[in-house]
Structures are given as C-alpha cells and as structure tokens.
Chains A and B, each alone.
Chain A
C-alpha cells in the first residue's frame, strides 16, 4: 500500500507533537517544575530561528547569544 507524501505545514504538526511529548515526559518523570524553564527555552529557540531566517540579521544572531 502506498501512503501519501509529507503535506504542507507538516513541520508544525511534527514540532508541536515533539514538544507535547517532552512535556508529557516531564510530567511522567515528576519533573514538572522544569516545565516553565523549558517553555522559555523553546520560545528563545523559536525566536532565534525566526531571527536567523531574516537574512540581514542572521550573521549577528548567534554571536549575540
């Protein structure tokens, strides 16, 4: 049986599924206190990703952080 290819916007589905899995895992491991910091990290990661996507800013992003 042949299955479909990767649809448009699949990165969002896949990335959010991975983030959901991490939070579930933290709760299962009784590490829920880590969750707020992880949230900050993810936001920071997304921000960095966004900034590096803007070509004029990209060279300065990683040296800055």
Chain B
C-alpha cells in the first residue's frame, strides 16, 4: 500500500511517504521553504517524498491527514463561543482562518495533489502520534502515552498497542486540561516564544531550585490517581501570541518577564562552573522555570503510573510535543514504573505525519514497517555544489562576510577526508558536517551537524557568539560512539536505549573538564549514542577525533543559524558557510576551509 501522510496547520508541517507498507521518507516543509516551523500544507515536501519514492500522486492509495480538521474546528467553535462576548474578536479572526483551507483540507489536498477526494482520509491526532511511536519502537506490545498541547479535543491519551493492530486509545484527557499548554504558558511568561522555545525554559530550569512548586501546583492541580487539571482562571488559552495567561496568573506569579529580564538571562552561562551564584533579580525567574519543570515531571510520572495500571506491561512508548522535554524523559526512565521506554526522535507533529500513514495502513489490515533510524530526509545533491564551484572561485565565498580566505579540498579517499575533519576539530575549528540523508525532527544527529571540540571552551564560545548566536544559558549536546557510552555517562546502558538525544544523562565527574562544552551546569548532557551500523561514517569520525585528541565525544549541535530551520541541501550548507563564521564545511569528499 502506498500512502502519503501529511501534518500541517499548527507547526512543523511534514509529509511522509509509505511505499509497499514501508515508510521510506519523511520531510518537513520548513527544510525546503526555509521558514522555521512552517505550518502551511507541505506540498514541496510531498513532491520531494514522491520523487524520492519514484511515485506520482496517482500511485497513492491514500493521502492521510494527521488529524480530523472537522473535530478540531468544533473545539475552536465551541471554546470561542463559550467566552462570548469577550471572545468575539477571536471568533471572527478564528473563523476567517478556519473557513478557508484549514477546514476544507480534503479539497485542498485533492486539488494540490490532483487526486480524487475519496482518497483523502484522516487519522486522529493522538492516534497518529501513538502509532508512530509504537511502530518505530519495534515492541511487540506496549502502553502508549501521548502528551502534547492539543489535538482535536484530546490533550493527553493512554493507549494499548500490539504489533500489527491499530493502537487502541483507552483513555483521553480533553482540552483545556493540557500539559503542553501549561508549559507553553509559562514559556511565554518567562519571555520566550510559546510552542517554540520550550527548550529555553527547560535549559533555564537547570540553573534554579524548585522553590515555587507549591505556587505552580495551584495552577496545575495533580490528583493522586495521575489525572490533572488546569486552574481555569489562570490560563487564557484562546489568546494569540505570547500571553496565554490571565491577570489572575499574574497576581500569583508577578509581572511577566520583560526585555530587561530576558537580557539578564544572557548572564547565565551553561559553561560556568557548576556552583554559580545567581543574581537576586534572576532568582525568581530561574526558580520558577525549575518549579514548572519539576511539576511537569511529577504530572508525567503520575500519568505513567496511571498508564501502568491501565496497561500491565513493562514497556512504554511516549510521544507528543511534551516528549521533546529530554530532562523529563530521563526522569521517567529513571523513576517511572516501566522497565523500557521508547521515545521517537521526532515525537512532535512531524512524526505524526508518519504516524498518520502507518495508522491508516494498520486500519486497512496491512503489516507496516519503518526504519529504526531517523534518517528519512532528503539526500544532499553534492553535485550542485561541485557545479557551483566550477564557476565560482572559493575565495569569493570569504568576501560574503569578509572573513579570511577559503580553500577547497577534494579527497579521493574518504579516510583522508575524515582525518582532515578530525584534525581540524582537534585544532579548535568549527566544522559543519553534511552527510547523506537528513535526520527528521528538531535534533541534529550527525547528518546535518555543527561539530566542535567539547574541551575547547574558546571554540564553544565562538560557536555560540558567531555562528549560532544563541543565549549562553542553553547547553550543547555530545555525540559519542556506543562503545564509549558507559565510560562517559552514568546510566550509559540505559541511555543507549534512547540514543538520539531523547533524554539526558550525567557525565562522569572525571570526564567533565574535557567534555565541558557539551555538559550543562547540572553535569548532564543530551547524548547521541552513535551506532556503527547505522552511521559508519560518523562513528569513524568520532574514532579519528578520539585517536587525535583522546577525547571520546564531539560537541554536536544543529546546523542552522538563529531563527532558521536545519540546513537541508548542500547549497543551503554552502550559503550558511558563506554567511557565518564557520571554519570548515564538509560535504562528502569535498571540504571548504576558511583561514584567517
């Protein structure tokens, strides 16, 4: 069965292609449109998937949208009407959006892809998430917990999954009680963009103490049985923009973070010694972030225990946007009731496009498969860059940002290329690494990565300042070979079951100085544990770097500039190289090196 899965209209629109019951590609629209979190119907991504699979839209048995827009529409309609007349403005603006493409997805997809409308189908939002997580886990059976902002009406669901069967959602928690919306509201209150910069709240939390848990628990009430509810007077979930909290919320927590507060966050440094004195102006904010994180983790633990009672099994699959909270995931893995846990590398709406295709095929009685790796994106066309360089003197690239001269190296032997990259990393250079099919999801996993020596703090600071341009309180991650996991990490064996940066793990004390650039203030890192079978070239680079420096891991962060999606094509990478302060760009057997 050939199925195209589509997610869109909230954020991170994605297309995923199943050919003969096997998922073969998944591409986020933002990677092609270059608009971060692009929510529009992913037609470019769909075309790219079809081209990759060698299919036309007429070869598709179904096009499956990842949620039921009519159900979501009724939620928007009912909730805006419930607040009438206060919500009149939002009702009008909401309806203008909904009565266009968002509600009539069947027509929009049928028209854009030139397929019969009867071939457009829908999966429920949480079934899409749950199916993606379970099928990718490879488990025979498992409990499934989906936690996100909101799908149609459902914000949280617990299900039972068995191999070869559609996931059965046993229990759902409905809007407005939502852990995703709870965390997003505090993210906005702390001065970050809700539904986008939750990772900043999580990073900030590590600097604080959870001294405000009692206050936070007044707005997120946790019951003994694992259920939860939001204080209705504290949240304004229909509000546009940053402020999804009410005056009552402000009375409890004080005025929201202003520009001065956000600027003060800049004084926090993930690379600082573990014991850092936080200024009195910042203490309430970082303590609030720590408290919100702590309460979220308690809520998730409660839900896990509830799931364990409902589905007596040793395995759990976790999905939904909240599963991107790697600190919470590691606490669930450590303290939760399940022996084994799986979180897909793309647990958010991007993965739900894959899940929609899988769920549809399972409902049709098919036996579905999915690769157990996240490298389902597009292959870079290196020849495009070679062609460009035939007409362009590499020296011209240096003139874009007026920094040094650029030399082009071409390697006939891949080992020499790897040796060159390891050597430059050892010298403290920042290397952009582009290798084969792109990773799905928000994390760079060694196919579209920025790499650096984690022990060279001068390099790490330059990376943050001149390339990533991101706040110093946000930590970087480490990539290490699987054979080094237990030697570098506490819980290394357990971390190996979630190898794609889905969780955090503490780094052994003795290794922290040489890995400092990839270790957060709390002594943890978000590790990528590299399997030699899945990523032989990246594993060989790690080997070469260790042989040169004795350091068993590389700092790995996403290959993008601030506010930009992850680099996808070889030309995107070349553009970023020209625009930023990158030292080396590795494109297969080609290396561009900037010297100052």
Residues of A within 8 A of B (CB): 1-7, 10-11, 13-15, 17-18, 21-22, 24-26, 29, 31, 34, 37-38, 41-42, 45
Chain A residue nearest in CB terms to B119? A3
B106 close to A14 (CB less than 8 A): yes
Task: Determine the chain B residues whose CB is within 8 A of the CB of A41 once the complex forms.
Answer: 95, 99
Q: Chain B contacts of A7 at CB under 8 A?
A: 116
User: Does residue B471 face the partner (Cβ distance < 8 Å to A)?
Assistant: no
Asked if B328 CB lies within 8 Å of chain A CBs, one says no
CB contacts between A and B, total, < 8 Å: 82
Which residues of the partner chain B approach A26 to less than 8 Å between Cβ atoms? 74, 77
Task: Identify the interface centre among A6, A22, A31, A38: most chain B CB within 10 Å of its CB.
Answer: A6
A18–B105 touching, CB < 8 Å: yes
Q: Interface size class for chain B?
A: 20 to 34
The reply to whether B110 and A14 contact each other, CB–CB distance below 8 Å, is yes
Identify the closest chain B residue to A5 (Cβ): B114
- Is B71 interfacial (CB-CB < 8 Å)? yes
Q: Is B61 an interface residue (CB 8 A)?
A: yes
Q: A-facing mask of B366-384, CB < 8 A → 1, else 0?
A: 0000000000000000000
Are B74 and A31 in touch, CB under 8 angstroms? yes
Provide a sorted-by-A list of 17 A–B residue pairs whose CB atoms are within 8 angstroms.
Answer: A2-B59, A5-B116, A6-B111, A6-B114, A7-B116, A11-B107, A11-B111, A13-B117, A14-B110, A14-B117, A17-B117, A25-B73, A29-B74, A29-B78, A31-B74, A34-B81, A37-B81
Interface residues of chain A: helix, strand, loop or mixed (majority): helix
One digit per residue, 1 when the CB lies within 8 angstroms of any chain A CB and 0 when it does not, for chain B 167-211 equals 000000000000000000000000000000000000000000000
Task: Determine whether B10 belongs to the interface, using a CB cutoff of 8 Å to chain A.
Answer: no
Is the C-beta of B60 less than 8 angstroms from some C-beta in chain A?
yes
Per-residue contact bits, chain B 293-326, to A (CB 8 Å; 1 contact, 0 not)? 0000000000000000000000000000000000
- Chain A residues positioned under 8 Å from B105 (CB to CB): 18
Q: B117, A6: Cβ atoms under 8 Å?
A: yes
Residues on B close to A: CB < 8 A? Answer: 56, 58-61, 68-71, 73-74, 77-78, 81, 95, 99, 103-107, 110-111, 114-120, 153
- Is B70 a contact of A18 with CB atoms below 8 Å? yes
Kindly provide the distance from the CB of A17 to the nearest chain B CB, expressed in whole angstroms.
6
Q: Is the CB of B77 within 8 A of A38?
A: yes
Check B99–A6 contact: CB distance below 8 A: no
Could you say which residues of chain A place their CB within 8 Å of the CB of B99? 41-42, 45
B118 to chain A: which residues have CB within 8 Å?
A: 13
Alpha-carbon gap, A22 to B74, bound state (A)? 7
Closest Cβ neighbor of B111 among chain A residues: A6
Could you tell me if A10 and B70 are in contact, using CB atoms closer than 8 angstroms? no
Q: Which 6 A-B pairs have the closest CB atoms?
A: A14-B107, A21-B70, A14-B117, A14-B106, A22-B70, A45-B99
* Known A6-B114, A10-B116; contact A18-B107, beta-carbon cutoff 8 A: yes
**In the complex, what distance in Å separates the CA atom of A2 from the CA atom of B119?**
12
**Which residue of chain A lies nearest to B105 when distances are taken between CB atoms in the complex?**
A18
Chain A residues whose C-beta falls within 8 Å of the C-beta of B106 in the assembled complex:
14-15, 17-18
- Contact B103–A18 (Cβ < 8 Å): yes
- Chain B residue at minimal CB-CB distance from A45: B99
Contacts of B78 in A (CB 8 A): 29, 31, 34
